[in-house]
Amino acid sequence: MAHKDYLHNHKEFLDLIRILANEIGVDPSLVEKDYWIMHTLYGLMSIPTNPATHSKVI
C-alpha cells in the first residue's frame, strides 16, 4: 500500500488547525475533531465491499 501524504503528517498541522479555527471563530479542538472524523470516514470508505452483500470486508 502506498504512503499517502495526509494533512496530519504536515509539520505545521497544528498551526493550520489554529489558523482555520481563528478564521471561522471556533475552538481549535473542534476543527481538529472534525478533521479526524472526516479522516476516519475516508478510511472506512476505502475498505473494499463484498459485491454479493454490499457489506464491508474487514
Query: Could you read off the pLDDT tens digit of each residue along the chain, which spans 58 residues?
Result: 445 789 999 999 999 999 999 999 999 999 999 999 999 999 888 888 877 777 777 6
Structural domain spans, the chain: 7-56
Global pTM reads: 0.76
Query: What pLDDT score was predicted for residue 3?
Result: 58
Query: What pLDDT score was predicted for residue 56?
Result: 73
Q: What is the 3-state secondary structure (H, E, C) of the chain?
A: CCCCCCHHHCCCHHHHHHHHHHHHCCCHHHHHHHHHHHHHHHHHHCCCEECCCCEECC
Name the phi and psi angles at 4, rounded to 5. Answer: -105, 140
Count the neighbouring beta carbons within 10 Å of the beta carbon of residue 32.
18
